Structure 1
Amino acid sequence: MTTANAIQQALDQLYRTHVGPGDPYALVDFPDHANVGDSAIWLGEIAMLRGVTGREPAYVSTWHDFDAEAFRRACPTGTLFLHGGGNLGDIWPHHQQFREHILATVHDRAVVQLPQSIHFRNPDGVARFAGLAIEHPDFTLYVRDRPSLDFANAHLSCPTHLAPDSAFALGHQPRAPADCDVLMLLRTDDERRDHATIPSAGNTMVDWLEDDPDLPRAFTSQAKARVDRGLRLLSRGRVIVTDRLHGHILADLLGIPHVVLDNDYGKIAAYLAAWAGSERVPAIRATTMAEAERAAAQLA
């Protein structure tokens, strides 16, 4: 059983393996989209890196505005960290293409892929990524679950380690008063799974893929605004039903009892299996919408 304290220790060990006090570093693939979960990861990464090094990243970029010359001017030495999440594979190709570009072109320093879930729907992409990983002189991969670890050990010849999601570095979060009994945060994107039945009409159904209109311009301020939006949204429910991994993680940090369904390829169940027992509040797993609604009624 993995405790919440053990997760914090695992994250601390991960980051201290690659940076120390005062060390410069870069953090790239900023999530410039509305999905709250990726911004929660980013804030956790920044919190860990700032806590270890005592400084902000020397260079940051999105997947589409990385400038190799600007990167080397701003960060002539130090580790390049790739943002973690659930996009290593071919479901979200822009992020994978950027990752492969970094591995192909940045050979003059260590590259660290922060904790990811791996999923390739088309096996053709596996060999290309494996080739880039083995050709890089100093590439380390962290994964969030055991199926991803098994995949990496079978297909990739690079140091690979199991690590928790960096969003847990955010720690306990205060919650606002609830205004509904059951809030259902359900995916509406390419990882959505058919949960056999549609939710009952009386439940409040939402997703978190739409930004507020007054989003700040600075990267970390954007991430904070998105996470704040997600925390406000989740706080509405006395109980939450979700098929988003960070719906689970942020509900846990908020202290809200919740029911967890899976995404289309089993990412959430795999994560929960790897870090079983780390929940601060009740988290019931369900395989169908009907099961989830019954469990939510019990928690309520």
Structure 2
Amino acid sequence: MIEVSCSVSKLLEQKEELLTVFKPLLENKKVLFLDVPVNLNVGDSLLYLGTLELFKLLNVTVIDSISAYEPARLDKLQIEEDVVCVLQGGGNFGDIYSLHQNFRHLALSKFPNNQFVLMPQSIHYSNLNTFKDDCDLYRACRNFSIFVRDEHSFEQFVSENVSQVTLCPDIATVLFGTFNPSEAAIDSKLYFLRKDVEAAPNTETAISVDWIDIIPKHLNRLFEISKFIIKKNNRLNIRGLTGFLVNNLHTKLVHKAYSYFIGFKTIKTDRLHGLILSQLLQMNCEALDNKYKKLERYIKRWYA
């Protein structure tokens, strides 16, 4: 377990670093936002809203948003070569989440003359040969700017001579200052532990909650409706529809998570965005690593 308490000055410094890093690539540009999340993971909601906040601060114009559930829309889309294709960040880069990885590769092949920007990711591959094959593709994509949020991911790419890689904080850090800090009672503690494929064995799982446990039924219903319509948009191809639906969903999810978290003074978590949200709210955090060491690597680089 690692006790984490990131200072206001350090978080402000990281937010400024993100603006500085992405300014040359995105300021005043038109953007196609790709792989926007369609799920009930509030970590992805924070990433999504953090990216939108970055766009706002850099005067970016989003011409459309497309999810991984809409690959056919890429075939129907024609964009000018000055449009930047921005790929959602997070922790799904590699061979665990094939839906998103395959969509990224499809997009790279459809728009070879456009600049691509991958928002900060953690990478994980179970198969080294798959990683090597992917790196062959990335080296060939001269307009692909890759951003990663931990040194392990950075070193993995460098070891395969993928040169267009930059290390920077998680994009949700851009949201610092948009939340009021927690003022909960000093003895309140939230056990917030994973219950999915990335969970590590933990004896406290029985008394813990995960993202899905704090989402009310009406937001589950909103998610099901939104996902159904977005999949239909794969055929209908209505520009702006997916962006409207996911923005509504993720705004509500983050508001719910914020309202839940501020009821506690301390959090014990093995979710990276449980950790990051706790720091945005200036909560005390006891961090446990997940199966793929996302937290340990992130803390070592940005919170140590």
TM-score normalized by the length of structure 1: 0.83
1:139-176, CA deviations, whole angstroms, 9 ceiling, x for partnerless residues? 11000000000001012524100011010111131257
1:254 and 2:281 equivalent?
yes
Q: Tell me: CA distance 1:154–1:226, structure 2 relative to 1, closer, same or farther (3 Å).
A: same
Q: Which residue of 1 aligns with 2:212?
A: 209
1:91: how far off?
A: 1.7
Other structure's SS at 2:286 match:
strand
Q: Which residue of 2 aligns with 1:111?
A: 116
1:219-268, CA deviations, whole angstroms, 9 ceiling, x for partnerless residues? 21211111112212222323210000110111111122121101102111
Q: 1:129 and 1:121 mapped to 2: Cα distance? A: 13
Q: 1:200 and 1:65 mapped to 2: Cα distance? A: 35
Matches within 5 A, 1:45-194: 45-55=51-61, 57-66=62-71, 67-73=73-79, 77-172=82-177, 173-174=179-180, 178=184, 181-194=188-201
Q: Which residue of 1 aligns with 2:229?
A: none
User: How many residues get paired?
Assistant: 270
Q: 1:71 and 1:138 mapped to 2: Cα distance? A: 19
Q: Tell me: CA distance 1:30–1:200, structure 2 relative to 1, closer, same or farther (3 Å).
A: closer
1:177: how far off?
A: 6.7
Percent of residue pairs bearing the same amino acid type: 26
Other structure's SS at 2:146 match:
strand
Q: Which runs of 5+ in 1 are unaligned?
A: 278-300
Q: Which runs of 5+ in 2 are unaligned?
A: 1-5, 227-244
Query: 1 or 2 for the larger relative contact order (CA 8 Å, sep ≥6)?
Result: 2
1:106-154, CA deviations, whole angstroms, 9 ceiling, x for partnerless residues? 2020011110001101113112211211222311100000000000101
1:181: how far off?
A: 2.2
**4+ runs of 1 displaced by more than 6 Å?**
none
TM-score normalized by the length of structure 2: 0.82
Higher helix share: 2
Q: 2:183 and 2:85 mapped to 1: Cα distance? A: 40
Other structure's SS at 1:232 match:
helix
1:47-86, CA deviations, whole angstroms, 9 ceiling, x for partnerless residues? 101211253x11101111141255425x663110100000
Q: Which residue of 2 aligns with 1:285?
A: none
Q: 2:181 and 2:43 mapped to 1: Cα distance? A: 17
1:94: how far off?
A: 1.0
Q: Tell me: CA distance 1:209–1:138, structure 2 relative to 1, closer, same or farther (3 Å).
A: same
Q: 2:205 and 2:269 mapped to 1: Cα distance? A: 14
Q: Which residue of 2 aligns with 1:19?
A: 26
